[in-house]
Chains A and B, each alone.
Chain A
């Protein structure tokens, strides 16, 4: 795997290959499971896409010195509001009991 090199303020090196090991690592972060064939195909496609993105590297740093966010996201008052009716939440849930979503056991004895 090639590294991205560089930190904020340095010149970046984007040229990199996204190899199957990196795809597996990222897939684990995203809670996705890929077959070996899917993983290998994805490695090739993502490498090609990321190679194309190298064009971003060619911009001089001096051009990138403005504010990143032109407008801050406006925030609303932090007050509790009535959400959707409970019956619809229950109807959409794969498993629901006693007013709660049911999931596999998380805390075990061993």
Chain B
């Protein structure tokens, strides 16, 4: 009996979800936004790769050693990697390092036995091919081993150590993949979150909820709506990732080389968790309005943690080592969906910490869903002026009172009229 009731519960919920998918999926707005996002992704991957193939010549300093043979090594490495090179003899290691720091030089080969760069990237450490410093390291290493053999005989061989002047960190391509993930999570959660809030606001303001809630419970309407919209969000995300990987592979972008499976998996996990955490909050915010035009105001507080984590993510992408503050954001459920993929991609947290953060977000999601469902259930049928959150929660007694305080802490409280 109970299972039959549950099946019906799910069936009606699925009917609600199906409507969301069909109505939105075939709307022009969905088609246009999908195409635009895919074009942006494709361009974002392809353009840097195409520009890189016309990269300006790299300036390689040489210090010590026989100038003729080291020049030969550098030129051969340039030929192997398809990079134009300009050889700059430097008087001393100190001068060469100074030039390296100031950006006048890109790589320095010291005595034909050591390769120095400004910063060693993790992905392109040594022997992995592709970048000029590692090619120089390869070729020079081989030359050192076999003496004056023609450098063109270089195949897989012994590489010299590559030394960085500053601490090693995640490669730029890895970071950019992280940035891509964060932009994806941020855009999808905000865009679909506001669609949820708009949809709820529409149903409430034109009173169709009265007709619908005469036959289904508020929770069914809520779950059906966020599930249906969530399916669309995930479909769009999957298309964007496929475009990213497909176009990246086609143009040989270094971004894709940096797209370690770990970043993609963690990005996907936090996208799903982030959506799950925020979808009900957006629905609850939407249920407070009495006119659809008020939706923008009530969802702003819900978006603040996302905006904060997103804006600060650039400081992590372009710096070496995240601040403690940002690491804390990586573990708070409202900010973790955006912050954690960045931290992981930048190599600032290991995978197990990302897993802990995911569990925290999941727990936070359960709490948020219950609180939001309560708010939604109480305010969706309250007409007249905009419903005040405190009013809605006050009716629930002390347990909800605590939740209300936490909600305020999460920034969900909407501003006074």
> Do A and B assemble together?
no
Report A's interface with B, CB cutoff 8 A.
none
Report B's interface with A, CB cutoff 8 A.
none
